[in-house]
Chains A and B, each alone.
Chain A
């Protein structure tokens, strides 16, 4: 059986999932100039909350995803307001705080949900596969691609079509000028951080049927978000899309053809990009 079509679809799926994960990271990094090291934790926490809603309370999959997103968004908002705002202007300190938050969230999840991996069933109606030209493409994986496209469109409309989006873009391009023209940068930070967190939480639930939910998921996903944003460029939707697809493909094909060097093949371009072109392929604003 030809592996190529399946590998390709899986790469698009992973790319889509990575986009959902990294869009938030990219916005936060682009606007607030900090790599949010707690982003993987947001993903994982969202996934865990999803499992409780899905398995414990038997909610509808999509409702659970949205509820989880909301919960993580609120969580992110509180964190930003309580902790990060206090360190305004001190980016290095903010990054360290996000590191501390990761540790706390990871252990918190262990307490609540114990250490056993939790698998999540694909949502109703998307169990089977679509047969195209002799290969069976799992429906849910195609659905993830659709969801990613939908969210990407929504974000694009937000950023390009609304005043809020314009303010965000201004803040990404030139934070100093943005302040000068009266854009309320601190409130923008809170909004973007909450939005980013919520997107990560949403991605966690969406990804759970494929990745399952387990301790360490946060540290598995964080480096991927990092690579996506560094390669694609922070603060740019197109960049995040490009980076997500790139990483999706490199990771999947890397795993398939050189499993031992999969991470190397992934992280080496990241190191090279950081050194050669820190703003990434499509990055906006100063690195």
Chain B
């Protein structure tokens, strides 16, 4: 019951954000948190619930953006560009999955890394198509139903809507029979096979779901910046997304959101005070993997719980 109230309050606070967040700058940061959260939630489907660590998801994030950007600059409208972007992502994800799912564990990691690098390399070097490192600029953001998304407020609301859709989708997914079977494959793939589940197919469709939402996040990112460059598909971008998932707590719905908040806020806010935020990010990564592999939220809960237990024990003895 309390978690429902907390969620409701959080949602209200988000909905009213433009009111209580003074500057456009910070509102934009919040938009980026939400975009990061969508990407992290998508990645979490594979990493957290599926138990397969991917370090190539930046490719899926970026390919949607590039596909859409190319179509836009070819003169097509936003709707067509978005649909095209998502279609390309779907095909790319299917290929990504078919190749990567030949293995699991470290093998899966390596193949995702390799594919990520392959696609990044294309974006970076195929200059005639992608403009290479200079990236592709977009003239304008879309105008759904005639409403302009140029301002920070409007864009924030658009992002918030997509985020809420993602949130509902994720929650529904993870509680569904398919979602539960995905978690089952993470825990006991042998057993699941003996029970009649096709572990490969489950992972494949989970990849598609994950890829689609990664593409959605990529499109939002593209519209936010009105620009896309190969950096979005780089190893550091994939690592950042992975950090969001792991830092926050993989295998939960709130975890990736918290992780995204942590990483984005570090990037934009802390970087004003701490020059080398990448170092801090790396250190947090190492710390979390060593001390709280389950992520900051569950890990802190565990450590706090243990501390609380010790205190109560001390009280009882006193």
Contacts and interface: CB of A to CB of B under 8 A. Distances in A.
Interface of A: 33-35, 83, 86-87, 91-93, 95-97, 99-108, 110-111, 219, 222-223, 226, 230, 259-264, 266-268, 270-271, 274-275, 278, 287
Most buried by B among A87, A100, A260: A100
Contact of A278 (B55, B103, B283): B103
Contact of A267 (B105, B117, B277, B286): B117
A100 B278 contact: no
Interface in B87-114: 99, 102-103, 105-107, 109-111, 113-114
A111 to B, nearest CB: 6
A110 B281 CA distance: 15
Given A261-B125, A263-B122, A107 B111 contact: no
30 contacts: A34-B106, A93-B293, A95-B53, A95-B106, A97-B290, A99-B55, A99-B242, A100-B283, A100-B286, A100-B289, A103-B236, A104-B286, A106-B278, A260-B125, A261-B125, A262-B121, A262-B125, A263-B117, A263-B121, A264-B121, A264-B125, A267-B114, A270-B117, A271-B99, A274-B102, A274-B107, A274-B110, A275-B99, A275-B111, A287-B103
Contacts of A267: 114, 117-118, 121
B289 A96 contact: yes
B127 interface: yes
B89 to A, nearest CB: 18
A260 B127 contact: yes
Interface in B188-205: none
B282 A92 contact: no
B121 A101 contact: no
B315 interface: no
Interface string B118-144: 101110111111000000000000000
Contacts of B115: 271
Interface of B: 53, 55, 99, 102-103, 105-107, 109-111, 113-115, 117-118, 120-122, 124-129, 234-236, 239, 242, 246, 275-279, 281-286, 289-290, 293
Contacts of A259: 125
Nearest to A278: B107
Given A261-B126, A271-B118, A86 B290 contact: yes
Given A87-B290, A100-B289, A263-B118, A287 B107 contact: yes
Given A100-B283, A103-B278, A264 B118 contact: yes
B125 A97 contact: no
A271 B103 CA distance: 12
* Binding site secondary structure of chain A: helix
A110 B276 contact: yes
Given A96-B53, A96-B285, A267-B118, 11 more contacts: A83-B286, A99-B242, A100-B283, A103-B282, A107-B282, A222-B235, A262-B121, A263-B124, A264-B126, A270-B114, A278-B107
A111 B276 contact: yes
A226 B114 contact: yes
A105 B129 CA distance: 34
A104 B279 contact: yes
A78 B282 CA distance: 17
Contacts of A101: 282, 286
Nearest to A265: B121
Contacts of B283: 100, 104
Nearest to A98: B286
Contact of A111 (B117, B122, B275): B275
Most buried by B among A87, A260, A268, A287: A260
A223 B236 CA distance: 12
B290 to A, nearest CB: 6
Contacts of B113: 35, 226
Nearest to B106: A91
B110 A230 contact: yes
B236 A219 contact: yes
Contact of A260 (B126, B236, B289): B126
A243 to B, nearest CB: 14
Contacts of A33: 106
B109 to A, nearest CB: 6
B109 A92 contact: yes
A222 B120 CA distance: 14
A97 B121 contact: no
A219 B235 contact: yes
Contacts of B293: 93
Contacts of B277: 107
A104 B285 CA distance: 10
A162 B107 CA distance: 31
A78 to B, nearest CB: 13
A271 to B, nearest CB: 5
A97 B114 contact: no
B114 A274 contact: yes
A261 B119 CA distance: 11
